[in-house]
Amino acid sequence: MSEFGYRDDRLFAEGVALADVARAVGTPCYVYSSAAILARYQAFAAAFAGRPHRVCYAVKANGNLAVLNLLAGAGAGFDIVSAGELERVLAAGGRADRCVFAGVGKRADEIDRALRAGVRCFNVESAAELERIESIAAELGVRAPIAIRVNPDVDANTHPYIATGLRENKFGVPIESAPALYARAAASGHLDVRGVACHIGSQLTGLEPFRDAFGRVAALVAALRAGGIGIEHVDVGGGVGVRYKDESPPAIGAYAEVVRNAFADETLEIVVEPGRALVAEAGVLLTRVEYLKDGAERGFAIVDAAMNDLLRPALYDAWHDIVPLQRRHAGTRGRWDVVGPVCESGDFIGRERELVLVPGDVLAVCTAGAYGFAMSSSYNARPRPPEVMIRGESWHVVRPRERLEALYAGESVLPQI
Ligand code: LLP
């Protein structure tokens, strides 16, 4: 995307040479462009302009406080899936009354916290959850705002681990059972029916599954309204894909058109929960080549980032472009498996990549702003990498590299006997 590009063979993000960041904070390191994030947010906001709407950023994609604060400042709400994400939003200056609380397994303490904080809506995923929310709201003497997340049973054509809208998935309530549940909720003194929610999967690259799902949800909304149940908003979930390799995901405007057409009634507010589409292309992971090694079958470029820093290749066999911070014109182009130091053969960042490399080179793993740091761990006792945010010509460490002592802080040995 345009915020990242080469100038005289050096890779820049906005006005900053990424090699300068790598030199100052070391590698591995995540770098985000604030301009890229804001541009994507504005694209969503513009696409729904003139229609009541709220863009609720899916915190799970990248929950760094700087990211949340930037989006809160631009007017975003948030899609949260845990009390931890709620605390992040509040710590970043976001508003609880702009949070929708999703997730199949909300614990009682999380529901209690979210009700006290005054979240905008619970996206309820089962009859049992509805009952739990009702009883906690009754204890607190309040009415809990709810939407029911329906499962429209459509094939999202995405990786099976991130498809959620099929009957076989654990998410939501079968759409045909929703009316009975709504009737039950509408009759409760401690539940306040606000909307209908759905989310059919992530990294969708075609519009057809959205069109299918939204058609079914629109029919449900119409039936509920006709039955006197006051539906104020429809939450269409996230899922708009990005280009990692050669995909051609829909433009945000085209996606919004599908939503607007499906829900033509202008009195219905649209809530949309993009995660990846806002932040994936706004981030890179910088990593240094430690060793080049000739294997029997192929060459290995052993880098200092690993599956603990970026899990997507190991978990989903996901592709991320890998490019040098400094383009080289001389040297031999090799075919490298770019791998990390973790003791697993699944620990790779990219396979069979054509690159001109020498040890010490720093590489950028692209499109890593979503589900990158957020899914990182300290496996192999590797401290999690720092995160840096760029704003124009300046850059800021928005999370330092984890200290080694932090890896075992809070642990203890058994008492002496
Ligand atoms: N809303 C709900 C209810 C969700 O479950 C998700 C993502 C989103 C919104 C945001 O979806 P997005 O706009 O980012 O596609 N770790 C995986 C992605 C998991 C997505 C889970 N749910 C990956 O790295 O591809």
Query: Which element (helix H / strand E) includes 154?
Result: none
Ligand 1 pocket residue status of 314, Cβ below 6 Å:
no
What are the tens digits of pLDDT across the range 212-262? 999 999 999 999 999 999 999 999 999 999 999 999 999 999 999 999 999
pLDDT digits (tens, 9 = 90+) for 21-36: 999 999 999 999 999 9
Q: Whose CA is nearest to atom 24 of ligand 1?
A: 371
Looking at residue 257, what is its pLDDT? Answer: 98
30: β partners? 285, 387
- Provide the CATH topology of domain 103-272: TIM Barrel (3.20.20)
Which atom number of ligand 1 is nearest to the Cα of residue 374? 16
CA angle 255, 257, 259 (to 5 degrees): 75
Instruction: Say whether pLDDT at 165 is over 70.
Output: no
Q: Which atom of ligand 1 is nearest to the CA of 164?
A: 5
Closest CA to 326 of 7, 103, 44: 7
Compute the distance from residue 231 Cα to the ligand 1 centre, in Å. 25
Q: Counting atoms of ligand 1 from 1, which one is nearest the CA of 278? A: 13
Residue 199 has pLDDT above 90, yes or no: yes
pLDDT tens-digit map of 358-395: 999 999 999 999 999 999 999 999 999 999 999 999 99
Structure tokens at 366: 């692209």
Residue-level pLDDT at 155: 80
203 lines ligand 1 (CB under 6 A): yes
Q: Which residue, by CA, sits nearest to atom 5 of ligand 1?
A: 199
Whole-number average pLDDT of the chain: 96
Cβ of 58 closer than 6 Å to ligand 1, yes or no, is yes
Question: Looking at residue 307, what is its pLDDT?
Answer: 98
Q: What integer is the mean pLDDT of 189-216?
A: 96
> Does residue 141 have a pLDDT over 60?
yes
* Ligand 1 within 6 A of CB of 110: no
> Ligand 1 centroid to 160 CA: how many Å?
13
Which pLDDT score is estimated for 388? 99
Query: Which pLDDT belongs to residue 202?
Result: 95
Share of the chain above pLDDT 90, in %: 92
pLDDT value at position 331? Answer: 78
Cα-to-chain-centroid distance, residue 46: 21
- Inform me whether the pLDDT recorded for 156 exceeds 90: no
Q: What is the DSSP letter of 190?
A: T
Per-residue model confidence (pLDDT) at position 403: 98
Return the ligand 1 atom nearest residue 204 CA: 15
Interval between CA 123 and ligand 1 midpoint (Å): 15
Q: Just give the CATH number of 4-32+280-407.
A: 2.40.37.10
- Tell me phi and psi for residue 278, to 5 degrees: -90, -35
Question: Residues 169-198: what's their mean pLDDT?
Answer: 95
pLDDT in tens, 36-89: 999 999 999 999 999 999 999 999 999 999 999 999 999 999 999 999 999 999
Name the residue of 82, 166, 202 whose CB sits within 8 Å of the most ligand 1 atoms, as the mutation to test its pocket.
Answer: 202
CA 391–ligand 1 middle distance (angstroms): 26
Catalytic residue positions, numbered: 343
Q: Quick one: pLDDT band at residue 160, thresholds 50, 70, 90?
A: confident
pLDDT value, residue 159? 75
For 162-273, strand residue ranges (E) read: 173-174, 191-197, 233-235, 269-272
pLDDT value at position 37?
98
**Per-residue model confidence as pLDDT tens digits over 259-271:** 999 999 999 999 9
Quote the ligand 1 centre to 341 CA distance (angstroms).
Answer: 28
The reported pTM is 0.97
Using CA atoms, how far apart are residues 29 and 388, in angstroms rounded to an integer?
8
CB of 102 shorter than 6 A to ligand 1: yes
Given a cut of 90, whether residue 192 has pLDDT beyond it is: yes
Q: Which atom of ligand 1 is nearest to the CA of 102?
A: 3
Q: Could you tell me the residue ranges of all domains in the chain?
A: 4-32+280-407, 103-272
Q: Which of 149-163, 220-234, 347-361 has the lowest mean pLDDT?
A: 149-163
Number of H helices, E strands in the chain: 11, 21
Ligand 1 near 313 CB (within 6 A) = no
